[in-house]
Structure 1
Amino acid sequence: MTDKRSIVIKIGSALLANQDLLTPRFGFLQRLLEDVARLRADGWSVILCSSGSVALGLKIVGETPETAGVSDKQAAAACGMPLLLNAYKQVGHEYGFEIAQILLTLGDFEDHRRFLNTRNTVHRLLEAGVVPIVNENDSITTEQIRVGDNDRLAAKVAQMVGASDLIILTGVDGLYDRNPDDPEAQFVPEVEDVGLYMDATKGKSTLGTGGMATKLQAANMAQEAGVVTWIAQGEVDRPLSTVLSGERRSTKVLANPNPLSGWDSWIANRLQMAGSLVISDEAAKMLGADDRPITRSQIVSMDGDFTRGDVLHIYDQAGTELARGLSDFTSEELRVLTVNPDTPAEQLLGYRSKGEVVRFNNLVMLQSHHLQWDAPSSMVYEVAPPDEDSPLRNA
């Protein structure tokens, strides 16, 4: 259920760190946290998703945004996080509130138990009147196991806590229908279907890891969970309250009026793809129409190395993503099942199973405005009887 008094604020690196000196921008922090105090006085619970640790630590490790590699950025994050938190703490105390740090990784969102544990921690901090400051744990993450950008991280946090609003503060005043450097670019004040504008979102900031594309992806994840997203310029007085009051220009991405449940939203809104299935055209026509699961006989091809409980992306044979759902099998078990279609599942697996790949109650059909993921180019595993000498035959 959406909490009408919770709001998530995402702040980009370019707002928090001086691009030349790579030091905290205390003037911006004063304006930001003064407005946070204003919202708290009005009864809002506020969560900050803050970039900036890598940028603030680069000078300490002797690197620049242009020269830093993966290990440099990991070390810079370790050095910069104390600087970032100290800046927040100093300014926050001026306005009478405490802060807390929560460092997350991809697994904290993709594993449901860790997702719930994180949510409980955030709610407990809010109950105590503490402002949580959430960031990805950049000092230990690599490209393969990271969220990748704090826009989508903020959207996942908003989904997690059931917030009503997500404000993404950035260096521009919102979304344009094309590159804003184009003199014919038109400002877009309100968005219902973000997919209509994805082609217009190119480029990213020097210090940040994402551009307008990641902001729209984040907004789409938020709107499917019933959260309104605002994309706005951060370099103003009262950067938050003026957005909520409509006193200045920003782009508002409307919430879905019929949002997914918390469980369905967790399944449908992924940060990375664990695995994927292509099902037959006949199965695709019936998908979601009744209480039938996805079975091994319906699978045409599959991709990825996944474990039981991972979320799979479900495609038709034309490559259109239809749904997402929890796998009842590991990828290796599923390969054994699909290439031995006439052998009972119990005989192949060594334990009793109905052979349902995705149960109906763990399947979520994608709604019309939900951004789809392209089918993996590596999806070449065709389900067909293996050679007689294959280890998969009657495995």
Structure 2
Amino acid sequence: MTKKKKIVVKIGSSLLANSDNLTLRYAFMNGLMSDLAYLQKQGHDIILTSSGSVALGLNMIDRKPEDAGILDKQAAAACGQPLLMNAYRQVASEYDMDVAQMLVTVEDMEDRRRFLNIKNTMLRLFENDILPIINENDSVATRDLRVGDNDRLSAKVAQMIDADLLIILTSVEGLYDRDPSDPDAKFIAEVKDVTEHLESTTGISTLGSGGMLTKMQAANMAQNAGCETIIAEGIIERPLSSVLNEERRYTRILVSGVTQSPLNIWLSNRLHVSGTLVVANDRVKALVEGGLGIRREDVISLQGDFTKGDVLHVYNEDGEEIARGLTNFSSEETMLLARNLDMPVEDVIGYKTKSDVIGAENILILQENHLLLDAPEHDQKFVVPV
């Protein structure tokens, strides 16, 4: 690897923490930081997405992983994050590396302005040869407003910095066509279409919040952003360079299709659903053919307490997701507009603005290479009176 690249590396709790006593695996951490230092000295820009704070903090609050609730995990994260970063700082200093901590929430990644601010911070750290270490801020994130796993967080980071490569280190060699414990399981070295392998990727690790399914979801997010993904075993000695030098096997997920614009990439890779719209089927065809936004008269129902600038998921009447886009109105304003079609927009909401709920310039029509989200099963706010 001679060309300078932007590389995101993700490691999970099961690699960092001993599952028996929930203490750091310093041998793995040393091998990892040695490889990261090697890649950095080659001129590559590296970001480390690291789990581990919750696992390391559980001892301090006297809880086991299987018994910990959301409040326990928040407290454990607050206890474990200083331990984790102190260990990273100590080990990194042995390899003449500087590290920086960045804690983010799903709101940071989903809000466009915060997203760009995080990106600018990372770029400035690169300029100073400092390794950003990113984790979800589990001590403040609630169950409903959290990234949910660092696999998808790492993919969002890869998208954010226009990364060339996402490396996800895990406890197995890569992807199999079924549970790796099955003697008939076959190893899959290369993946083009992630959707073909989702059914075989069930289960999660004891310490982590994700499994192979979240890794494949992350790979799909990355490939749509023009970034290849490698899933490999997190061995102790040279966990990264042994893969990059083709010394052992791994699974590579290839880039799919033509890379879209930064805005469309951001729109397509969502971690949290702010709100949804159901659009009349007779409008869907024109919408999919392109060049049109979503008018207030197209909206049959809406769901969620969203604000102007949030990303909405758009469904047809059959519950199939067809698009995602930035809304020009809050949920309350959208409801009022859809219920008062005979009134001018400014008379309904009190100010003059564009009439489209989602403008044509801010909408993404989903394609086959996007993983679609099922329509939420919660009660909807019907905006068209019966």
TM bracket, shorter-chain basis: over 0.9
Q: Which moved more, 1:352-361 or 1:116-125?
A: 352-361
Where 1:60 maps in the other structure, the secondary structure is: helix
8 Å CA contact 1:340, 1:385 repeated in 2: no
1:87-126 deviations in whole A, cap 9, x for unaligned?
1111111111111100111111111111111111111111
Equivalent residue number for residue 21 of structure 2: 21
Q: Distance in 2 between matches of 1:240 and 1:234?
A: 8
Contact in 2 for aligned 1:40/1:46 (Cα 8 Å): yes
SS at match of 1:103: strand
Deviations 1:101-153 (A, max 9, x none): 00111111111111111111111111100111000111111112211111111
Aligned counterpart, 2:263: 263
Quote how far apart the aligned CAs of 1:4 are.
5.4
Alignment of 1:174-253 (within 5 A): 174-253=174-253
Mapped to 1, the partners of 2:118 and 2:317 lie a distance apart of 38
Give the aligned residue type for 2:309: G
TM-score by length of 1: 0.94
| Runs ≥4 residues deviating over 3 A | 379-383
Deviation by residue 1:320-367 (Cα, 9 ceiling, x = unmatched)? 211100011111111111122222222211111332010011001122
| Structure 1 position 304, deviation (Å) | 1.3
> Which segment is superposed worse, 12-21 or 69-78?
69-78
* Distance of 1:136 and 1:298 partners within structure 2: 37
Q: Supply the AA of the counterpart residue of 2:13.
A: S
1:343 equivalenced with 2:337 (yes/no) = no
> Residue in 1 aligned with 2:115?
115
The TM-score with structure 2 as length reference comes to 0.96
Q: What does residue range 56-205 of structure 1 map to in structure 2 within 5 Å?
A: 56-205=56-205
Aligned-partner SS, 1:125: helix
- 2:301–2:384 CA contact under 8 A, matched in 1: no
Q: Does the CA-based 8 Å contact 2:243-2:249 persist in structure 1?
A: yes
Residue 380 (structure 1) shift: 4.0
| Partner residue in 1 for 2:7 | 7
CA-CA distance at 1:378 after TM superposition: 2.5
Counterpart residue number, 1:334:
334
Task: Note if contact 1:6-1:165 (Cα within 8 Å) is conserved in structure 2.
Answer: yes
Judge conservation of contact 1:278–1:317 (CA < 8 Å) in 2. yes
Could you tell me how far 1:12 is from its partner in structure 2?
A: 0.5
1:291 aligns with 2:302: no
* Counterpart residue identity of residue 192, structure 1: K
Residues 275-296 of structure 1: per-residue CA shift (max 9 Å, x gap)? 1112122211111434221101
Q: Which runs of 5+ in 2 are unaligned?
A: none
Which residue is equivalent to 1:320?
320
Distance 1:329 1:208 in 2: 37
Number of matched residues? 384
Give the residue type in structure 1 aligned to 2:362: N
Q: Deviations over 1:49-102 (max 9, x none)?
A: 000011111111111112222221111111111111111111111111111100
Kindly indicate whether the alpha-carbon contact (under 8 Å) linking 1:4 and 1:163 is maintained by their aligned counterparts in 2.
no
Amino acid at match of 2:276: S
The whole-number CA distance in structure 1 between the counterparts of 2:275 and 2:304 is: 4
Counterpart contact for 1:189–1:252, Cα < 8 Å: yes
What's 1:354 paired with?
Answer: 354
